[in-house]
Amino acid sequence: MVGYQQKHENYIVQSFEKILEEDVVIPFTLLTTKGELFSVVTSNQFFEDVNTPVFTLKILDKKKGLIVLNSLIPIDMEGCPVDLGPDLYSLILTNTCFTMKINCFSEIVPLPSDLIDKYIPIIESKY
């Protein structure tokens, strides 16, 4: 069991390393070792106490087995917070960062980088 756990942790570390190697910021979701979607409560200058499962990686500390994550707020085309799904239009960066142990996670699910701070079009009324 220890061998599997070490291999799995190496896989997660390698995945985080690949994310850091990219020229663009890659948003992602994380699954816990229990297979659940990891989420936190975050806020920014527009929204308070929004539950979000979307993050970017700020720091990877392999020696200590830690990562520093930055939370993002998923919003719909009208600029309102939304759950992940068909209504997701953009991901708004926040200043909320926190540290977690790498071994808390079992999988990383990347999202398209063009979702970050995607411009919300102004829809003018026809009346």
On whether the CB atoms of residues 91 and 73 are closer than 8 A, the answer is: yes
Domain span holding position 22: 2-115
Give domain status of residue 121, yes or no. no
Model pTM?
0.86
At residue 48, the pLDDT reads 87
Residues 68 and 61: their CA atoms lie apart, in Å, by 8
How far CA 88 is from CA of 59, 91, 97, 112, 127, in Å, comes to 26, 8, 22, 11, 27
| Element of type H or E holding 21 | helix 2-21
Average pLDDT, the chain: 88
Domain count, the chain: 1
Give domain status of residue 73, yes or no. yes
1-58 confidence digits (pLDDT tens): 445 455 556 788 999 999 988 888 999 999 999 999 999 999 888 888 999 999 999 9
Give domain status of residue 85, yes or no. yes
